[in-house]
Amino acid sequence: MPGFEREAVAPADVTVAVLAALRPAAEPIRAEASSQGIAFVRRLFEGWASGANRFDQPGEIFLGLWQQDRLVGFGGLNRDPYTAEDDIGRLRHVYVLRSHRRRGLGALLVRYLLREAEGHFRIVRLRAASPDAAAFYRRLGFAECADPAATHVVPVPVGPSSLKTPRHGPSRTNGMAARG
């Protein structure tokens, strides 16, 4: 998958973990996104609070990027609700704090999410929220697509890691510690 090789290594003090709850850790991200006029973070909080979307269906996961004890970014993988095909995943609500951008953290997060898609989804797609986001996903190897429900798509690689432990129930974190 082009674009991922260089970003594969996390900075030493950054960890990726399943985000078990949005509050309180994600509150600074919600506040920053709101001040920037980015609506999808508010929708994330609303969907989580109502139970409409907690990324807890088969194949789904929501990950946080932590720098020590500070949550500096997050993003999730849903089954794509805009299609009846159940082998299409959708990246959602990917956000990195402004103070931490252009350090490879967004790419790292997406790499983890795509790894989680293995064995569950054939392709992963998304709707880029802005031209900058579109450039980010293009850089990561996503192709533009003409579907009305998505702007970018990437095939999910099939490899040995697709034989991993199911993530729901006690092994949901697939070896990653859950935080939040």
Burial of 180 (0-12, 13-18, 19+ CB in 10 A): middle
Would you say 59 or 104 has its CB closer to ligand COA?
A: 104
In angstroms, what is the minimal distance from the CB of 67 to ligand COA? 12
In angstroms, what is the minimal distance from the CB of 106 to ligand COA? 2
In angstroms, what is the minimal distance from the CB of 63 to ligand COA? 13
Max CA-CA distance within the chain? 43
Would you say 143 or 158 has its CB closer to ligand COA?
A: 143
Position of minimal CB gap to ligand COA: 106
Would you say 21 or 129 has its CB closer to ligand COA?
A: 129
- The full DSSP string for 76-123 is EEEE-TT-S-TTEEEEEEEEE-GGGTTSSHHHHHHHHHHHHHTTT-SE
Would you say 76 or 104 has its CB closer to ligand COA?
A: 104
User: Beta strands of the chain (E only): which ranges?
Assistant: 14-19, 61-67, 70-79, 88-96, 123-126, 143-144, 152-155, 178-179
* Contact positions vs ligand COA (CB under 6 A): 7, 38, 94-96, 101-107, 126, 128-130, 132-133, 135-136, 139
In angstroms, what is the minimal distance from the CB of 176 to ligand COA? 19
In angstroms, what is the minimal distance from the CB of 107 to ligand COA? 3
Six-digit token string for 82: 């805009």
Six-digit token string for 105: 């953290």
- For 62, residues 6+ apart whose C-beta sits below 8 A from its C-beta are 18, 19, 54, 55, 74, 75, 76, 77, 93
Would you say 89 or 104 has its CB closer to ligand COA?
A: 104
